[in-house]
Structure 1
Amino acid sequence: MKRVLSLSLIASSMLMAGGYKIPETSLNGVALSAANIAHNKSADAAYYNPANMVFMEDKNNIELDLTYIGLDPVSYNGKVTATNVDLDSERESFIVPTIHYVSGKAGEARIGLSIVSPGGLSKRWTESPASKSAEEFTLKVIEINPTFAIPVGEKVALAFGFRIVHSEGVVKATPSPGAVYQDMTGDSIDYGYNLALAYKPTSDIDVALTYRSQVNLTVEGSADLYYAPGGLVPKGNYEASVNIPLPATASAALAYTLPSKTTVEFVYERNMWSAYKNLDFDYTNASAEAVFGTSKSKDWKDTNAFRLGLTQELDNMTLMAGMVYDESPVPSKTLGFELPDSNSLSVSLGGRYEINDKIEVGLSALYSMRETRKIETNDANDNNLVGEFTNANVLMISTGVSYKF
């Protein structure tokens, strides 16, 4: 029972660079499957590779995007303990706004600002036994990322930025209606940094390196708890906190532009998820800590993502397409209903149209197809699962407008 009840808000926050991460935080990001790090002439360079701001046209550039995210219902067929079940989660959908800004030159330097939602989750199961541990897991994340870039010679630029991350979430679970439940909320503001390098050895080759630091989420909140057996935890609101790492991410990218103004970009991305070893929720109340505060092993692994982007520039239009293969960080042993994660293959396309020399509009879409995730008996799953999760696909549609002045 303690193992089930130790599920927390932050279990879902870790999806930001794993299961339901959102690296596609702009119109171009969606169209190119986030393969827009080395070759980028738009305002979202402020987020993806701020060093590229140095090589942009000497104008202020601002872009506003709206992205629809739809999560298919996840199906689970198999056993929970010794009981055969066939369950489906609820369908989820969101509208996420983002904004990117790149300044004109300040001397030779450039300043950027991005306000994005780099990840999040809403996973709800209304059917038992999934609802016993994951009735609702919801996370909202907003990152404010100011950046500063300078040239180093004519072919190299460097950039530095601050990550200001606000997270807010909810977790509800009812292992035993009327006898045991938890309804938890929490939030935090935490900080990190990002570094970027852009190198243009020739007019048709772009090279980039980026690094986003680990951010320790120091979430504090409260929980309505009740544990009736033995009267161990009376009904009440209890203070709670947890300290969880949001792992670092490093990327290396290479882009080549053909004489036909066709650009091909490849991105290798490494997510350092092995920093997430366990989940240990702390309660100031001794009884709540004894029942609900048991440390839960996670043992996530570092993961790779391989991104490919294709851009074709025309007279008044830019066409884009992309593909990405992304690995899951969650081992079969600790997989649960709050994160039925698996490896994924995504495809994307989109376009931008130049109305005049100041205004551009665009539309893009991405579809992520997730592999079936099987849990075998010999995986010794901590949540007593033996079966498979299917249909965890994701659709993203983004529209945006940019303005230069």
Structure 2
Amino acid sequence: MNLKTLLFAGGALLSGTAASAGGYQVTLAGQKNNGMGGVGVGLSLDQAAMFYNPGALAMVKERGVQLGVNATLARQAFRAENGGTQRELQNTTTTPLNFYAGFGPAEGKFRAGIAVYTPFGSKLQYADAWEGRFALTQIDLKSIYVQPTFSYAITEQLSVGAGLMILALGSVNLQRDIPAQNAEGKFASIELDGKAERKLGFNAGVFFKPSSMLSVGISYRSKIDAVVNDGDVTFTNLSNTATPAFQATKFKATLPLPATTSIGLGIMPTEKLTFGFDVNYVQWSAYRNLEFQFNAPVNGATSSTSKRYYQDAVTLRLGGQYQVTDGLTVRAGGAYDNSPVKDGYVTPETPDADRITGTIGASYKFGENFSLDFSTQFVSLKKRTVTQQELLDNNTTDRVAGTYKTQVIVPGVGLNYTF
């Protein structure tokens, strides 16, 4: 067995194919934004500005607290290059959360707040005995970011802001089969389970509104390296003859969570109608290789490297909202996401491809202080094929040749209280 087959499952550390953006990035941080194609950098919609553009927080009229949850419902199919049965991902659901609390004087120039969101996470489980089971059978990933934020309005048109991003909680559980059978004819399996160390980054932005009909913004989220230094390695169903070759009990791995630069534009033709357009540039090229280190040999080796060679990618987002009545606002939007994964480097834990997203949403206000947000995203990834010849040419035979097709539906709901 090539040790590299162990590695590529780790590429999903704090990630997942059910994400709403390319690679293993998730952008489900605001319920209003979700209904508008994910725009938000050039708008000051609500407290979720802490994620999209901290500079816009000072321009949010109302202070408030909001809580949102989404359900990513992924369907993924795989067919091996040599034909055979189409394998489908078993039903999986994850629930990314977001929480924001914004404070400050009603007529003051500054706002402060705290944001909690889950930007990376997924749960995938492939069908039993699928062709890639010696690379990945299931994955369960969780992460929580906490971001204290401060924003200040320099003038009535210009504001700036920044937040300290804290990777407060991250965990990963990866499982796969091993091509070695015990006396009962069962394949052995390996499980990697670990928690990421706390790491710090920052999120900063500038927001400018020259008139009541136009606003622009720019924001930057820094890279954070997710580091597992004391992960557990567990083997099951190993035969007596195979056991001496699989002695590792701990592993270490690092995954870059890349920097993102975003530019946004807001257009307000009337008081009731708003349009937003965002461009996100993600520096995926920071993800070159995935390296594993073990505290004891795994099939004769204590470390190995698996190629990723991601490339920088751009996402285009467009959305709008219309206030139908004093209590009802409706939204719609879309996005086109360019995949950072090159041909010949596709892996089962992130069978990524260029994707098109359509979104709808609505808000309903009841009483003076409460409102509900609803959103749904429909994400379709193009079919992505990786051939055995490409794997041989790129020396990436630690993954499986075949064709992937993924579709995701992401309904969400949020509760807001303003004061």
Change (3 A) 1:385 1:96: closer
Match of 1:191? Answer: 200
SS at match of 2:350: coil
Residue 201 of structure 1 aligns with an amino acid whose one-letter code is P
Decide whether the 8 Å contact of 1:9 with 1:137 is kept in 2: no
- Say whether residues 1:200 and 2:201 are aligned partners: no
Q: What is the CA–CA distance in structure 2 between the aligned matches of 1:45 and 1:184, rounded to whole Å?
A: 36
Decide whether the 8 Å contact of 2:246 with 2:299 is kept in 1: no
Decide whether the 8 Å contact of 1:47 with 1:113 is kept in 2: no
Decide whether the 8 Å contact of 1:9 with 1:170 is kept in 2: no
Decide whether the 8 Å contact of 2:262 with 2:278 is kept in 1: yes
Q: What is the CA–CA distance in structure 2 between the aligned matches of 1:152 and 1:199, rounded to whole Å?
A: 10
Decide whether the 8 Å contact of 2:246 with 2:298 is kept in 1: no
Residue range with higher mean Cα deviation, 241-250 or 38-47? 38-47
- Say whether residues 1:293 and 2:303 are aligned partners: yes
Please give the per-residue CA displacement for 1:8-34, whole angstroms capped at 9, x wherever unaligned.
Answer: 434343546534532022211221121
Q: What is the CA–CA distance in structure 2 between the aligned matches of 1:300 and 1:63, rounded to whole Å?
A: 35
Match of 2:378? Answer: 367
Decide whether the 8 Å contact of 2:77 with 2:87 is kept in 1: yes
Residue 209 of structure 2 aligns with an amino acid whose one-letter code is K
Matching residue within 142, 145, 148 for 1:146: 148
Q: What is the CA–CA distance in structure 2 between the aligned matches of 1:342 and 1:12, rounded to whole Å?
A: 18
Match of 2:123? Answer: 122
Give the TM-score taking structure 2 as reference length: 0.88
Match of 1:394? Answer: 408
Q: Which runs of 5+ in 2 are unaligned?
A: none
Decide whether the 8 Å contact of 2:373 with 2:414 is kept in 1: yes
SS at match of 2:32: helix
Match of 1:28? Answer: 32
Match of 2:365? Answer: 354
- Say whether residues 1:241 and 2:245 are aligned partners: no
Residue 327 of structure 1 aligns with an amino acid whose one-letter code is N
Match of 2:46? Answer: 42
Please give the per-residue CA displacement for 1:82-112, whole angstroms capped at 9, x wherever unaligned.
Answer: 6755322212112333211111239522112
Decide whether the 8 Å contact of 2:3 with 2:298 is kept in 1: no
Identity of aligned residues (%): 20
SS at match of 2:50: helix
Q: What is the CA–CA distance in structure 2 between the aligned matches of 1:5 and 1:64, rounded to whole Å?
A: 38
Mapping 1:3-402, distance limit 5 Å: 3-15=4-16, 18-19=22-23, 21-57=25-61, 59-72=62-75, 74-79=76-81, 84=84, 86-105=86-105, 108-125=109-126, 126-165=128-167, 166-176=169-179, 177-178=181-182, 180-188=188-196, 189-220=198-229, 221-225=231-235, 231=242, 233=244, 238-259=249-270, 261-285=272-296, 287-288=297-298, 290-291=300-301, 293-314=303-324, 315-376=326-387, 378-380=389-391, 382-383=396-397, 385-390=400-405, 392-402=406-416
**RMSD value over aligned CA atoms?**
2.3
Could you tell me how far 1:279 is from its partner in structure 2? 0.7
SS at match of 2:301: helix
Please give the per-residue CA displacement for 1:124-168, whole angstroms capped at 9, x wherever unaligned.
Answer: 222232221111122111111111111222211111111111210
Q: How many residues align?
A: 399
Q: What is the CA–CA distance in structure 1 between the aligned matches of 2:255 and 2:141, rounded to whole Å?
A: 14
Decide whether the 8 Å contact of 1:47 with 1:100 is kept in 2: no
Q: What is the CA–CA distance in structure 2 between the aligned matches of 1:111 and 1:233, rounded to whole Å?
A: 57
Change (3 A) 1:234 1:377: closer
Please give the per-residue CA displacement for 1:306-353, whole angstroms capped at 9, x wherever unaligned.
Answer: 000111123222211110011111122221222221111011111111
Give the TM-score taking structure 1 as reference length: 0.91
Change (3 A) 1:23 1:380: same
Q: Which runs of 5+ in 1 are unaligned?
A: none
Q: What is the CA–CA distance in structure 2 between the aligned matches of 1:336 and 1:84, rounded to whole Å?
A: 19
Change (3 A) 1:65 1:194: same
Decide whether the 8 Å contact of 2:15 with 2:24 is kept in 1: no
